[in-house]
Amino acid sequence: MNLTEASAALQSAHTVLIVTHVRPDGDAIGSMLGLANAVRALGKQVTAAVDGGVPSFFRFLPLAESVQSELHEGAWDVMISTDAADEARTGSVGAYGFANSKVVINLDHHPTNPMFGTWQLVDAAATSAAEVVFTWLEHMGLAYDETVAMPLLTGLVTDTNGFRTSSVTARTLEIAHTLMRRGAVLTAITAKVLDAKTPADFALWQRVLPKARLEDGVATLAITLEDTRSVGLNEPDDAGLVTFLLDVEGIMVSAVFKEHAPDEVRVSMRAKRGYNVSDIAVSVGGGGHVQAAGATFRGTLAQAQAQLVPLLHEAVARGDREIV
């Protein structure tokens, strides 16, 4: 990691842009907001932006209202991209930022990151981009309050699914401990970002669960545009189903295929410890982590399943049941 170079670039900057990945999750918003609030406290002029803005369920985070949903003007000394597996994942605000920033810092934890940008703070062993932000703030010796601690703990909690993934180590819990000491409230985060389900989420589960297929260690589920519309969700979402399917005894990999358009399918995949879905995602142009990966597929739901389901079965055959 270019900790020294990135710190020097940040410290000499007056204006800083922070962006994250499109369709942001808790780590995307948490790492972006935690860093934005810490850098603001240094007296820098900070712009934070993500396409479409902060999803409603993360708006409880401090200064979430300061995040812009689009960018059409401005130029920055430094742009920082957080939790984006590649450049394209930073969306329109990222494209504008790349064209109008002198230095780009790529802060991430995806093993598939192609190392874009001027300086890289990429740690594939980190549980979350929020953990990388924590390490960076520690390296710079910055003191901070709950406006930083709360978003960072949100990133840790979401990307570890509540400290359950194999990426969790004693250090992860030490970081959580430090963040709680600095004012982050763990139960507020788990209740809001892990447990809460909207009535539309519930209606989706009720409607689509009968379609789930569990076969030879692989669980799959297809969600059509009609499913999404009929339950009143604005955007196709699995509402946590991909993780729920993986919890079934004997299931080693799970995948939810979400129809976004008649020729566009987004697939979310999860794997138990010892099994790998990242290779499958990469083979169809996506990315992610060994146990949680995703991709956007050009084609119909049936085509996406025809191509990927055999690969999911191969992943089960290649995996190591003993590790689990």
Window contacting ligand AMP (CB under 6 A); options: 69-77, 136-144, 294-302, 315-323: 294-302
The DSSP code sequence of 158-193 is HHTTTTTSTT--HHHHHHHHHHHHTT--HHHHIIII
Give yes or no for residue 286 binding ligand AMP (CB under 6 A): yes
Window contacting ligand AMP (CB under 6 A); options: 58-66, 170-178, 289-297, 303-311: 289-297
Strand ranges, E, within 216-279: 218-223, 253-261, 264-271
CB of 300 to Mn ion, least distance (A): 27
CB atoms inside a 10 Å sphere around CB 57? 13
CB of 314 to Mn ion, least distance (A): 26
CB of 164 to Mn ion, least distance (A): 15
Window contacting ligand AMP (CB under 6 A); options: 33-41, 66-74, 144-152, 286-294: 286-294
* Smaller CB separation from Mn ion, 217 or 288: 288
C-beta of residue 308 within 8 angstroms of C-beta of residue 267: yes
- Interacting residue with ligand AMP among 190, 243, 296, 300 (CB under 6 A): 296
- Interacting residue with ligand AMP among 289, 290, 291, 308 (CB under 6 A): 289
- What are the residues binding Mn ion (CB under 5 A)? 25, 27-28, 83, 128-129, 159
CB atoms inside a 10 Å sphere around CB 302? 11
* Smaller CB separation from ligand AMP, 183 or 299: 299
* Smaller CB separation from ligand AMP, 151 or 294: 294
Give yes or no for residue 293 binding ligand AMP (CB under 6 A): yes
Closest CA to 285 of 276, 277, 296, 299: 296
- CA–CA separation, 310 vs 314, rounded Å? 6
Site for ligand AMP in 251-270 (CB under 6 A): 268
- CA–CA separation, 104 vs 125, rounded Å? 22
Closest CA to 79 of 21, 15, 128: 15
- CA–CA separation, 113 vs 121, rounded Å? 11
Site for ligand AMP in 87-146 (CB under 6 A): 89
CB of 141 to ligand AMP, least distance (A): 30
Site for ligand AMP in 194-213 (CB under 6 A): none
* Smaller CB separation from ligand AMP, 44 or 89: 89
- CA–CA separation, 247 vs 256, rounded Å? 14
Closest CA to 50 of 74, 75, 33: 33
